[in-house]
Chain A
C-alpha cells in the first residue's frame, strides 16, 4: 500500500516567515507533486518533480520553491509567507511516466499565515 506522509497536519506561521513543508513517499515513486487547494478554485499545481534534483513549475509557482535531494522526499518552501498563501497544501506521488499512472495523496497540511 502506498503511503505518502506530510510533516504537519496544521501549521500557523507569521507573515514573512520562511516555511518548510515536507513530503515523504515510501513506494519508490518517480514523480512527486505539490498542490494547493482553495474553496472554489480546486486543486492547483504548484511544482512537480519527475526525478531527483529535477523540478518543473506548475500553474502557480510564484512565491514557492521546491527541493528534491532524495527520491522519497519532496519539500515545498515558502520563502516569505504571505496571508494569501493560507491554504490546504497537498503532496502527491506517482510511479512512472505512463498515462495510466494515478497519483496518491498525502493527508494535507492546513497552513494559516497570520
Chain B
C-alpha cells in the first residue's frame, strides 16, 4: 500500500464549479500535512498547509480527518488558472529525519471554459 494515495484524475470541470480532492495516508503517526500545486512542466509549489481544525485560503479549503486518515482539498468557483496537478504531502515525523516529506502522485485538474 502506498504511503500517500490520491486519485490521479483527471478531473474535468467547468469554470465556476466546485471540486474536491481526497487523499489518504497510511501512517497514523503522521504529523503535518500539505497541499502542493504543480503546473505543467514546472516545479511543485506549496499551496497550503493543512491544520487539524481545517483552514481556508480564499477559494481553497483544506481539511484533515485523523481518525480516517484522509486529507481533502475543496476548490470553489474554479478558474481556468486552477488547472494543475495537486499533490497531497505528508510529513510522517514529529521532528528530524531531515525534513523528509512523502508526496502523493497527484490529482490532475482541468478547468474548462
Residues of A within 8 A of B (CB): 30-31, 33, 40-43, 45, 48-50, 56, 90, 94-108
Contacts and interface: CB of A to CB of B under 8 A. Distances in A.
B98 A99 contact: no
Given A90-B43, A108-B43, A102 B98 contact: no
Given A42-B105, A42-B106, A97 B43 contact: no
A106 B43 contact: yes
Contacts of B45: 105
A102 B49 contact: yes
A99 B103 contact: no
B80 to A, nearest CB: 23
Per DSSP, are chain B's interface residues mostly helix, strand or loop, or mixed? mixed
7 contacts: A98-B95, A98-B99, A99-B31, A99-B32, A99-B94, A103-B101, A105-B44
Nearest to B91: A99
Q: Which 3 A-B pairs have the closest CB atoms?
A: A50-B98, A42-B105, A105-B43
Given A102-B34, A105-B43, A105-B45, A43 B103 contact: yes
Contact of A56 (B43, B46, B98, B104): B98
B96 interface: yes
A45 B100 contact: yes
B93 interface: yes
Contacts of A104: 46
B25 to A, nearest CB: 13
B43 A103 contact: no
B99 A103 contact: yes
Contact of A97 (B98, B101, B105): B98
